[in-house]
Structure 1
Amino acid sequence: MTNPSPEALQVEIDALRTQNAELLAEAKAAKRQLRDQAEQVQALTTERDQALTQVRELAVGQPVRQMLERISVAPDVLQVMLDKHGYQFAHEDGRIVVRDKDGGIPKIWERGSGGKGEPREVVFTEADLTTMLCEAWAEPSNRSPTANEFGHLIKAPNSLATGGGAGFPWRSGSSSRPRQNPPAAPAPSGLGLR
C-alpha cells in the first residue's frame, strides 16, 4: 500500500472540511426551523387558549354574572364566596351546571306534600341557586354550614319587594305577619337644651 502524497491528503482534508461545514449549516438550519416551529406552536397555543377563554366567558361567565346580579345584593362578593367554598359553573351538554368542591352537582331539598323533602340536583335557575345557597327547605340534618354565610347576600324574593308579604323562605323565623308599629318616641323630660 502506498502512502498518499501530502497534496492528496490536503485535498481530502479540504473536502472533509467542506462537507463538515455543509453539515453544520444544515444542522443550524434544522435547529432554526425547529425553533421557528416551536414558536409557531406556542403562538397557536396562546391563540387557542385566548379563544377558549372568550368562549367560556360567553357561554358561562356572562350568564353566571347576570344570574348573580339578579339574585344577590352584592354579586361580586357572592362570586368570591362561591369561589371560596369551591362552587364552579361549567358548560356541559348545552347547559350551565353547578359543581361543588368535590365535582358533584349539589342537591337541594324540595318541599313535597306532607312537609317531607325530596333531594334533587340543582338546576341553573334563580330559584334553585337561591335555595342551594340558603337551603330554603333543607332538613336540619342536611342544612349547609354555609347557609348563614350566603343568606345575607341574597335579594328578597320579588313578592316581598312588591309588598306581597312573603318572607324570606330561607331565613328561620321569618313570617308574613304585618310589622308592629314602632314604639312611640319618649316624652321630653324638660331638662334638655333646645
Structure 2
Amino acid sequence: MTKKEIPKDPQKVARIMQAACHAFATAGYRGAKTDVIAADADVSKGLIFHYYGSKQGLYVATIQHTTQVIIDTIDPAIYDVPADLVDMIVRGTKYKSDFGRSHPDEMRLLINAYGESAHLPAAVQKQMRALYDQTIATSRQMIRNVLKQMPLRPELDEATVVDLIVGVYNQVFSEFQAHMAKHHDAQSMADVQWVVERAKAYMEILEHGFVQR
C-alpha cells in the first residue's frame, strides 16, 4: 500500500526548509537540533516530525529541496553545449561558484552532505546515493551532447566513452569524499577548488592522451 501523502502548509514548509538548511549547513547532520530548527521556523517540533517522520526524513527532504533550488535557478545558458570536456567542467564550476555566493547555506549543505555521507545513517546514505545517481544521469546526457560536437575516432563506441568519463567523475568524487573525511573546513566552492582542478586535469588527459606523439 502506498503511503498517504500528508498535506503540508506551503508557508510552513518554506520556513522549515530555510531553517533546516541553515542548521544542517552550519552544524552538520549530527549537530543540528530539530528543536532549534522548529524555533527558527516558528513551528512546533511535533509538526516537523508529522511532516517528515524523523530527523533523517527532514535531512533528506532538505537535500532534495536544495537540489531543486539549484535546478530552478539555473541560467538557461548552462544548457548550451560546451565545446569540450574541460569547458564542461569549467562552465559547471562557474555556475556552482555563482550559486554558492548567492546561496551560501545551500552550497555548504551540499558540499558537506556529499563529502561526509559515509558518516550519515545508513538509510540516509542510501537516499543520498540515489540523488547522486540522478545527478550522474543528468551528467551522462550532457556528456553525450558534448561528444557529439567532438571528432571521436570512428572505431570507438560512444556509450563506452561515456562510461569512461563517468568513471572519472566517480573517481574525483571518491577523492573528494576521502579528503572531506580528514578535513571539515569546506565552506564554499573556493575551498574545494582542488577538486575542480583535478577533474580538469583528468579530462584533459582523456581528450588528448598521455603518450607523447
Please tell me the TM-score bracket, short chain as reference: under 0.3
Which entry has the higher C-alpha Rg, 1 or 2? Answer: 1
Which structure has more relative contact order (CA 8 Å, sep 6+)? It is 2
* Length-normalised TM-score, structure 2: 0.20
